[in-house]
A and B are shown apart, each in its own frame.
Chain A
Amino acid sequence: MTQTQETVVLTGHIIDSLILAKVLDRILMMGGTFDIQDMQIGKTREEPSRARIIVRASSAKLLSEILHAIQPHGASVESERDCRLAAAPADGIFPDEFYATTHLSTQVRVHDQWVEVEGIEMDLGICVDPVGLTARTIPMGQVKRGDLIVTGREGVRVIPLQRPRARDVFSFMESQVSAERPHGHIIGDIAKRLMQLRAGFREGKSGSKVLLAGGPAIVHAGGREALTWLIEEAFIHVLFCGNALPAHDMEVDLYGTSLGYGHAAGRVVPHGHEHHLRTINRIRAIGSIEAAVRTGVIKTGIMAACVRRGVHIVMAGTIRDDGPLPGVITDSLEAQAAMRAAIPGIGLALLVASTLHAVATGNLLPATIPSVCVDVNPAVPTKLSDRGSFQAVGLVMDAASFLRELARELGARL
């Protein structure tokens, strides 16, 4: 929900006179919300008090009506300045003192107007078009010489996350990670969200896509079947992974092993360590994962389900990759850009059993998108929750158990 806001100041004997109460009541009655940002209470009866209040409303029109209604009671709009802009000195270099973004919605003041920054993501710069009155985030590597970049903090405001309306595990707005909490109700809430999002996705509602960023441990630990089911049932719409998840997933289809471990046999099979290499080689020979699925070479599993369901896949490579598989993006900036391009429209992110992809994805997500991080290593969900996102749920558990329990909650018979 886009919110507009303005800071007002109220001074005088505003407490005993109930003027402050009246102003706050008026804001709420008119459908706005407020935050008291600063409150100085007079120490003696004679000394006046002062409150700085952020007034928020769902539209600029409503905000203006509210400001108009509270102005006669002494609430005056705090004067604000335009943001400062400086030209990028060279390609790929921000001007000194550049403003670094957070993952929270942000607005910049340009020609006395608050302009919403598009594509919010943490640790980027803000590029402003003062003529078109637009602002967007920009990664350091993409800045072009002469781009007008916001510097300093003046004329920049960050909108704190509103408490979500839904009363589920995401609404607590806290990011505790603990292995000692029961997982059942959390997974139940995630399942409910997935149901709602799938319904929304089918109706074409924006922000209804579900992203899964996952590592090969999903396959190794036995979560392949559950994840395949979730994809087949259209609960997942975007997949972020590396080279290993698809390699081992297709290895299971071709050889019945993942990293040489026989899934049915329950033991390491002779020369099994070659299987993933042979798989990669086979797909490279075919030319693409999609072609391998379409021609019936790959019949089951996560990648087959993704191809059949039209899931958008971004595979980002690393320096330890074998092959890699066709379609794996080996330039990390290019991979980042491809992931970034897939973020709009996401309504929930599941970050499962991959430190690298979970953290990379977490950095790309605005705080408004709820995320669930699942890992046996508590350090991963902790690292993510340290970003300060209010809607990040951390689960310390095995990927396969999580996916299986989630799929069962959604009706799978596994």
Chain B
Amino acid sequence: MSRLLVCPPDYFKIEYEINPWMRCSNAVDSDQAIHQWHHLMQVLEQDVGAVLERMKPVPGLPDLVFTANAGIVVGRKAVPSRFRYPERQREEAYFEDWFRGQGYELVMLDPGCFFEGAGDLLGFPDTWFGGYRQRTDIRVFPTLSDWFHREIIPLELVDKRFYHLDTCLCPLSGGELLYFPPAFDRYGQEALAERIASSRRLVVPEVEALRFACNAVCVEKHVVLPAGCPETEALLTSRGYLPHPVPLDEFMKSGGSAKCLTLALD
């Protein structure tokens, strides 16, 4: 059973611009966003069999809906995020409260050490990957590695459109990696190639990477991803996965999709 933290999009809109996808002029259709979000929840609960923990939305915090950036959860410990932009720093207290309310032991990073949670830290059971340079500071990884006894391979994000690691890389439950190589520099690409055999690296075409095909939620053989990525779906199907495309274009206006809207709790 997989538990995911989500937050209803009651107050979701574009109120500021902190990534290349966000345009205040590109208004969110709230009804449509709510409809898409509920559709996603339905797929996650009914098709994938995930258990959803719902956070209470907060007026004035439009991005609270992107719970992937709440922090990371490892066992009963939670490390809350430290956002780079002041616009999102206001979310920190709410995420911390939620973790605390659920009985998690909070492990706090030094203030000023930017870390944007599961948006920039994902991986396989033994090896984690850490995206850095755009939002998260590379210096948090040795600390996290020390706390959780995991190897963390830092990967520099070199394309502003892929500003979090979960926008261009998605580890799958069977050990394969869905990713968009040009989002990384030569060193990052080589480090990934060194670690994961080419037969297990599924390269997403650019046009679908730009639809955030990599921003997918993988639970066992199920992969929930944004609609409009047929080649990625075919790649997944060929490896025995069950793709579940969900239209999420209202959230793409803010630079987020399926994965950004969830946080894996265990």
Quick check: B151 and A72 within 8 Å, CB to CB? Answer: no
Known: A45-B126, A48-B145. A12 touches B152 (CB 8 A): yes
Quick check: B155 and A17 within 8 Å, CB to CB? Answer: yes
Quick check: A13 and B151 within 8 Å, CB to CB? Answer: yes
* Chain A residues closer than 8 Å to B146, beta-carbon distance: 48
Distance in angstroms between the alpha carbons of A268 and B44 in the assembled complex: 112
Q: Does B142 contact A (CB under 8 A)?
A: yes
Q: Per-residue 0/1 for B127-144: is the Cβ within 8 Å of any A Cβ (1 yes, 0 no)?
A: 100001100001101100
* Chain B residues closer than 8 Å to A45, beta-carbon distance: 126-127, 151
Distance in angstroms between the alpha carbons of A16 and B149 in the assembled complex: 16
**Interface hit among B9-17, B190-198, B218-226:** B190-198
- Which one of B146, B150, B151 has the highest number of Cβ atoms from chain A below 10 Å of its Cβ? B151
Q: Does A273 contact B (CB under 8 A)?
A: no
Please name the residue on chain A nearest to B142 by beta carbon. A12
Please name the residue on chain A nearest to B151 by beta carbon. A45
Q: Does B85 contact A (CB under 8 A)?
A: no
Quick check: B153 and A13 within 8 Å, CB to CB? Answer: yes
Name the one of B138, B191, B194 contacting A74, with C-beta atoms under 8 angstroms.
B138
Distance in angstroms between the alpha carbons of A45 and B127 in the assembled complex: 9
- CB contacts under 8 Å to A, within B134-175, are 138-139, 141-142, 145-146, 149-156
Q: Does A180 contact B (CB under 8 A)?
A: no
* Chain B residues closer than 8 Å to A72, beta-carbon distance: 132-133, 138
Quick check: A19 and B133 within 8 Å, CB to CB? Answer: no
- Give chain A nearest CB distance to B134 CB in angstroms: 10
Number of A-B contacts (CB under 8 A): 56
**Which range holds the interface residue count of chain B?**
20 to 34
Q: Per-residue 0/1 for A50-75: is the Cβ within 8 Å of any B Cβ (1 yes, 0 no)?
A: 00000000000000000000001110
Q: Does A264 contact B (CB under 8 A)?
A: no
**Which range holds the interface residue count of chain A?**
10 to 19
Name the one of B141, B142, B145, B194 contacting A16, with C-beta atoms under 8 angstroms.
B194
Quick check: A12 and B156 within 8 Å, CB to CB? Answer: no
* Chain A residues closer than 8 Å to B185, beta-carbon distance: 22
Distance in angstroms between the alpha carbons of A21 and B153 in the assembled complex: 13
- Which one of B154, B185, B190 has the highest number of Cβ atoms from chain A below 10 Å of its Cβ? B154
* Chain B residues closer than 8 Å to A18, beta-carbon distance: 187-188, 190-191
Quick check: A21 and B187 within 8 Å, CB to CB? Answer: yes
Distance in angstroms between the alpha carbons of A104 and B259 in the assembled complex: 58
Known: A46-B149, A74-B138. A16 touches B133 (CB 8 A): no
Distance in angstroms between the alpha carbons of A13 and B126 in the assembled complex: 13
Q: Does A11 contact B (CB under 8 A)?
A: yes
* Chain B residues closer than 8 Å to A22, beta-carbon distance: 156, 185, 187
Known: A45-B126, A73-B156, A76-B139. A19 touches B149 (CB 8 A): no
Quick check: B138 and A13 within 8 Å, CB to CB? Answer: no
Apart from the given pairs A12-B142, A74-B142, 19 other A-B contacts in the complex at a CB distance below 8 Å: A11-B142, A12-B138, A12-B141, A12-B152, A12-B154, A17-B188, A18-B187, A18-B190, A19-B138, A21-B187, A22-B187, A45-B151, A46-B149, A46-B151, A48-B145, A72-B133, A72-B138, A74-B154, A76-B139
Name 23 interchain pairs, CB-CB below 8 A, sorted by A.
A11-B142, A12-B154, A13-B153, A13-B154, A17-B153, A17-B155, A18-B187, A19-B138, A21-B187, A22-B185, A22-B187, A45-B126, A45-B127, A46-B149, A46-B150, A72-B132, A72-B133, A73-B138, A73-B154, A73-B156, A74-B142, A74-B154, A76-B139
Q: Which 4 A-B pairs have the closest CB atoms?
A: A18-B187, A12-B142, A74-B138, A17-B153
